[in-house]
Amino acid sequence: MYEGAVQELIDELGRLPGVGPKSAQRIAFHILEADPEDMKRLATSITTVKERVQFCEICGNVTEEATCSICRDTRRDPSVICVVEESKDVIAVERTRSFKGRYHVLGGSINPIAGIGPEQLRIRELMTRLSDEQIQEIIIATDPNLEGEATATYLGRLLQSIGVTVSRLASGLPVGGDLEYADEVTLGRAFEGRRSVSS
Ligand code: ZN
């Protein structure tokens, strides 16, 4: 245990995802030894992001306005929605340039062990969009892992009764991974080869 502020910083850093006690200590000492101006910028960007950034009222993507730039873009196809887990997946799909519709960000995936069920995700908001907007196809692009598959199966069943075409990305994505780790070509192909889940 270090004294006061140093230990507090280590504890805070250790709460971040993927940062273990050793990394927390290493980052804390990096901060201590770094240029004060650089660290002030880091602190400011954390404060700014918490003050300015919010979630899009329509799709749940991160934005600095009430709605995100994709939802505001009238050139995007309003009849297709790609359902993803996180905002970072929107970035991954956008990189492929093979999707021209809009998104719906769930805010995670179904994970009973972590206590995350359908109610914790933005599924109700998706259903509202389906009743309000002219949507013909839903492409489920959850991560190719256990939780992502569980979420896709759940959504597939839920959406079947509504009369929209529901499709799932084609296989070929690295199994067990994260959508963002797939390269653009692979992800682009998975989009083009998407298969209907309604049968
Ligand atoms: Zn949006």
Nearby residues for ligand 1 (ion, Cβ within 5 Å): 56, 58-59, 61, 68, 71
Centroid of ligand 1 to alpha carbon of 104 (angstroms): 7
Tens digit of pLDDT for each residue in 116-141? 999 999 999 999 999 988 899 999 99
Centroid of ligand 1 to alpha carbon of 51 (angstroms): 19
Which residues of the chain fall short of a pLDDT of 70?
171-177, 198-199
Residue with tokens 């994709």: 70
Percent of the chain's residues with pLDDT above 90: 71
pLDDT of residue 199: 47
Centroid of ligand 1 to alpha carbon of 89 (angstroms): 13
Centroid of ligand 1 to alpha carbon of 116 (angstroms): 23
Centroid of ligand 1 to alpha carbon of 59 (angstroms): 4
Domains (range + CATH), the chain: 4-52 (1.10.8.420), 58-196 (3.40.1360.10)
pLDDT of residue 46: 95
pLDDT of residue 172: 67
* pTM of the complete model: 0.81
